[in-house]
Structure 1
Amino acid sequence: MKKITLLICVCVSIVFSTQAQNIQQNGSVYGSKSVATQTSVSLEQLLERLALAEDKNGIDWQQFTNYERQIIKAHFNSQNAANRGPQATLLTEEFDDITTMPGAGFTFVNASDVPGSTDWFQGNDGVFPSQSGAPTAYIGANFNNTGGSVINNFMITPELNLENGDEIIFWTRSVAGSAFPDRLEVRISPDGSNVDPAGPADVGSYTELLLEINPTLVAGGYPEVWTQFTVPITGLTGATDTRVAFRYWVTDGGPTGNNSDYIGIDSLSIEEGTGGGGGCAIVSDCNLVDSTPDDATSPDVWDRPFANGTCCSGLGPVSYDVYGPFTVDVTGLYTVDSDQDGGAWDGYIFLYENCFDPLDQTTNFVAGDDDGPGGVGTSQILDVTLNAGTEYYLITTGFGAGDFGDFTNTITGVGTVTCGGPVLTYDDCAGAIAVSCGDSVVGETITATDSGGNSAPDVFYK
């Protein structure tokens, strides 16, 4: 399952602003569609309110505005940036001077119904400053991209050799509290033909949609603070020389429309993935008896979800331990029990399938539990269906910040649990794979056991 990882950058010392909109256009054609009156609120103030709003059932988010919720979650999510491993960079663009971009291979295609007075432009720090670098070091687009009502404006990267699993990473935001919704798509040309769009509804050859931000054009649906998106590339048949397109696409937009205001994009990079989209880049082990680290010093922290997989608790950051990948040899019901050092600390357990990403807490979620039959200090996922051959990850974590320590986990059910990779069906003579003269087969013995009496892992063909 593909992932989209969201991360918001924030500094504790920054003072944020909540904004109420007056519907009148900014004086500059490169401005926002509306101007705002601002009242300041600090992160420290929001965290004090958060402490009063949290209990065992989580956070009453109705006490906070959408903009305030983004700021609060930024505080927790930003601490997880260290979880990403190093990757080879294929492209980087900081938008310090966008006039140099065409020379670097970028193209800009405004296929709006009536091209307006602006295209993609250097960021306007009068609307908001950049995510990093000089205040204007980002690229912007706004409602004036059309003189009509449909914006269809493309920013297209240079041609790159890409494959499934490579990742597009960028930051974006709109105007805080805007009454005029924005929308952004990230697309790729799957065959590498790189045909430009030719009309207000056309996408050219960029037919593979990788990400759509605020697809239904809801007010407040576009990030109102700088927000990082990590988008895995899909839809390619192999390594392909192709381009990535950012599509600012808003209907009922323009100077007189109900939608479209102002967006910025910053700190773009495209990085090599794990190859073909496979693998799971997470540090894990096969220890059911272990301990979670001190969340005050460990880089392995997250904002955990609730037991039903919805995001997120806000009671963190909390540390975690990952057991897996593990598989079962028989499809059926299994139970996971956890004892947190005889009840010495308040733990939580979660099951994920295929992969676990602490920055994408809802993707691949299977099940979770807080307090088991033994009360606080125990957890139990009862009678969950696990499928033979599917890789699973068991996450042991704390209820909230400061909850960590030793634990003992058990997994019981209708079959046998094997940690470290999938169970090989041809690991013994009874499961031997039939081959004929001239056949070519590919296999491995890394996860096999010794069944042939030669003191080495082996697999069987017949």
Structure 2
Amino acid sequence: MKPVNSLFAAAAFSLAALGTQAAQAQGVEVLNEGFDNVGALSGWAQVNNSVPPGDGWFQGNAGLFPAQSGAADSYVAVNFLSAANGSGTVDNWLITPELSLNGESVLSFYTRRAGEAGFNDRLEVLFSTGSGTDLSGFTSVGTIGGSGNYPAEWEQFSATVTANGSGRFAFHYFGPADTLNYVGLDTVNVVTAVPEPSTWAMLGVGLGLLGLRRRKPQA
């Protein structure tokens, strides 16, 4: 079991402390990805706009740290070599498959960095309605890391959106290459609500409330 420290982003998308009680996702699971084989991911998209462009997201390196669950290398990773030769600016995206969402939906995932100190890894979480992967359509939920505080052990985060219809989440690794190191992402899950038939007419089409929650390990 894990104790919970939660961060919440309201409509302005600024993170603030929420408390110790995490929301429990209930409904229909529309995504459950453990990254057993990153090369065979179905429906996921990668966009590397790093300057100069280098590596994309890749199979986790168990020698740096093992996966949150499953085989030791069963997670997806990204690092400073997203920009060729580790110099320049990193701007590297991993986008989920198109998801069918019904009102309130919860994304949850685990992430961590490699253990070396002195780096400033940052991972932004975003959401877009519709089926496309145009980066301009994504809205930020919040950013993990910055100021050298990316979690050094696996920690669970969640983001809540309210949308009806197709949508995608995105993970955006970014920053000056010489300030970044290596992060992993594992156990990505999305659960969406199942509205009663009488509530369909009340659901909006657009993007609603978004939130990002952080769950820290417990003994």
The one-letter code of the counterpart of 1:90 is: V
CA positional deviation for 1:249: 1.4
| Aligned-partner Cα distance in 2 for 1:86–1:241 | 19
The answer to whether the aligner puts 1:121 opposite 2:58 as a matched pair is yes
Question: Which residue in 2 is equivalent to 1:209?
Answer: 140
- Provide TM-score, normalisation by structure 2: 0.74
Report if aligned partners of 2:103, 2:192 keep a CA contact under 8 Å in 1: no
Q: CA deviation at 1:164?
A: 4.6
More strand per residue: 2
Question: SS at 1:266's partner residue?
Answer: strand
Aligned pairs for 1:143-154 within 5 A = 143-147=80-84, 148-154=87-93
Please tell me whether the aligned partners of residues 114 and 181 of structure 2 are also in contact (alpha carbons under 8 angstroms): yes
1:137 to 70, 74, 85: 74
Name the structure, 1 or 2, with higher relative contact order (CA <8 Å, separation 6+).
2
Q: Closer, same or farther in 2 for the Cα pair 1:260/1:112, shift >3 Å? A: same
Q: Are 2:58 and 1:98 equivalent residues in the alignment?
A: no
Q: Percent identity?
A: 34
Counterpart check, 1:226 vs 2:146 = no
2: CA distance between counterparts of 1:139 and 1:240?
A: 27
**What residue in structure 1 maps to residue 202 of structure 2?**
none
Q: Partner residue of 1:158?
A: 97
Shift of 1:263: 0.4
**Alpha carbons of structure 1 residues 84 and 188: separation in structure 2 relative to 1, 3 Å:** closer
In the TM superposition, residue 224 of structure 1 has moved relative to its aligned partner by 0.7
| Aligned residues: CA RMSD | 2.5
CA contact (8 A) 1:193 1:205 kept: no
Residue 245 of structure 1: aligned partner? 170
Aligned length: 179
d(CA) in 1 for partners of 2:53 and 2:167?
A: 26
In the superposition, the TM-score normalised over structure 1's length comes to 0.36
- Which of 116, 122, 126 aligns to 1:183? It is 122
Q: Which runs of 5+ in 1 are unaligned?
A: 7-76, 197-202, 276-358, 361-462
Kindly provide the CA deviation profile for residues 424-462 of structure 1, in whole angstroms up to 9, marking residues without a partner as x.
xxxxxxxxxxxxxxxxxxxxxxxxxxxxxxxxxxxxxxx
SS of corresponding position for 1:99: helix
Matched, 1:260 2:180: yes
- DSSP 3-state at the match of 2:73: coil
Aligned-residue offset at 1:100: 1.2
User: Judging changes above 3 Å, is the alpha-carbon distance between structure 1 residues 164 and 181 closer, same or farther for their aligned structure 2 residues?
Assistant: farther
CA 240–132 in structure 1, closer or farther in 2 if over 3 Å, else same: same
- Equivalent of residue 168 in structure 1, options 107, 115, 119: 107
Tell me the distance in 2 between the aligned counterparts of 1:225 and 1:106. 25
Residue ranges of structure 2 left out of the alignment (5+ in a row): 8-19, 196-213
